Amino acid sequence: MRRRNLSYLEVLRNGRLAALLASDFATFVGAGMVIVGLPLQTLRIHGSIAPALAIATVETSTYLLGVIVAFGLGLSHVRLPPRSLLIADCALRLVFVGGLGVLALRGSLTLWVLAGGLLIGSALRQVGYSSRRLLATGMVGPEGLLAVNGLLGTGSNFALYIIGPVLGGVIATTVGPGVALLFDAGFALVQAAVVLVAVPARAAVPTGDDLPASGWHIMRRSGIISRLLLIVFTFNLLYMPVEVALPLLVKGPLSAGDTALGVIWGGFGVGALLGALAVDRLRLVRPQTLLVAIIGAWGASVLLLALAPTVALAAAAFSLGGLIWAPFTPVVYSFVQSMLRPDEQQPVVMVWTAGSAVAGPIGLALAGPLVDQVGSRGGLVVSAVLTLALVPLAALGLTGRPATGR
């Protein structure tokens, strides 16, 4: 008999879960402000370095060390409490990202200080993402997985791509783009406080002979999980030219100001919010079919963005992209977690998050020179065409019936 998945409203009756999701929403507001503020701040201080290369360097620093740490934990037998890891991530962001915000406010921030501070301040970023998902899904049973992952996506999309970019655009215009870093640090403090109060400390983590296998060993047992990770990695890799090209598209071909970048990201957020809300209605669709369809439709939306002649049409194209993209992450994580036992989830989710996120620094390192050579529109076209080429490979890789660890 098919298991009934809980709805959003049913899982939100858990007050502790609701508080955790609210704090997560707040931190993504800060991250959304940084989406707009960080490239604009970089363009102010890039000096003699080409703008595309400077943006790629700074954006890469937010991924690099975090991916290494997450891989190290996921591939080892070390098990650390997700609650402690999330609090530690908040503390790092508060100190280092907040410090960068202070320097920006004083006008003494340089490109290499910005990149170095973000490198250290983001050291537990991927671990924090994994931990908040594990904490949230750990508050419900298997029947609540899709709803909780969907709510995480709904809140983060609304905050990251609607509220955050709009506030970031206003802050960039009125006070300065680097001030967004101060808000991001402040919201990290809010999340740490909520986690301390709302999430109870768990029993000691397994040690010695009780340790489960490493995340990679567990993943190798299921061919479809390994193949799906490769697909997600490639999908994320091909997205990265968008992050480099978009601010340059606004400043160059579209001839618009700082606020326009926030408007375009806000358009993405409106679509992403609607797409995330739709996850609750996609419970009967086969996950493999849904994921392949999302990859193809996202590639088409990026092509529309590349061809947009005005800010309004760019925002509309990116809004469509957000609608298409939003269900991807909740469906992926729910699909993977449904194939794992509870004791297998932490190591696999750590490796999974790191493996998919490592596409960030690699993709940005490749996207900087690419966009520098072919321009912002050309970079978006390359991203779109290669993403569309991924569709048949993804369809082939996701064939077969997955086993379940439940």
Q: Which residue has the higher pLDDT, 26 or 8?
A: 26
DSSP strand E in 14-118: where? none
Torsion of the alpha carbons at 98, 99, 105 and 106, rounded to the nearest 10: 170
Q: Which residue has the higher pLDDT, 347 or 4?
A: 347
Mean pLDDT of 137-160: 79
Give the per-residue pLDDT at 225.
80
Give the per-residue pLDDT at 214.
62
Domains within the chain, CATH numbers bracketed = 8-200+212-397 (1.20.1250.20)
Mean pLDDT of 31-50: 88
Residue 21 structure tokens: 């999701």
User: Nearest Cα to 352, choosing from 156, 85, 21, 67?
Assistant: 67
Q: Is 255 in contact with 384 (CB distance < 8 Å)?
A: no
- pLDDT tens-place string over residues 104-130: 988 899 999 999 999 999 999 888 888
Q: Is 159 in contact with 26 (CB distance < 8 Å)?
A: yes
Torsion of the alpha carbons at 366, 367, 368 and 373, rounded to the nearest 10: 100
Residue 107 structure tokens: 């006008």
CB count in 10 Å sphere of residue 324: 22
Give the per-residue pLDDT at 208.
41
* Per-residue pLDDT at 142 exceeds 50: yes
- pLDDT tens-place string over residues 270-308: 888 888 778 777 766 788 888 999 999 999 999 999 999
* Per-residue pLDDT at 78 exceeds 70: no
Give the per-residue pLDDT at 229.
85
Give the per-residue pLDDT at 29.
92
* Per-residue pLDDT at 85 exceeds 60: yes
Q: Which region among 46-50, 197-201, 215-219, 385-389 has the lowest average model confidence (pLDDT)?
A: 215-219
* Per-residue pLDDT at 66 exceeds 90: no
Give the per-residue pLDDT at 19.
92
pLDDT band at 77 (very low <50, low <70, confident <90, very high): low
* Per-residue pLDDT at 31 exceeds 80: yes
Give the integer Cα–Cα distance in Å for 29 and 167.
Answer: 9
- The label of the residue with tokens 């594990």 reads 134
* Per-residue pLDDT at 210 exceeds 60: no
User: Nearest Cα to 35, choosing from 173, 166, 189?
Assistant: 166
Mean pLDDT highest for which of 45-49, 83-87, 349-353? 83-87
Mean pLDDT of 317-341: 85
Contacts of 292 (CB under 8 A, 6+ apart): 391, 394, 395, 398
Give the per-residue pLDDT at 4.
61
* Per-residue pLDDT at 203 exceeds 80: no
Q: Is 137 in contact with 337 (CB distance < 8 Å)?
A: yes
Give the per-residue pLDDT at 278.
80
* Per-residue pLDDT at 2 exceeds 50: no
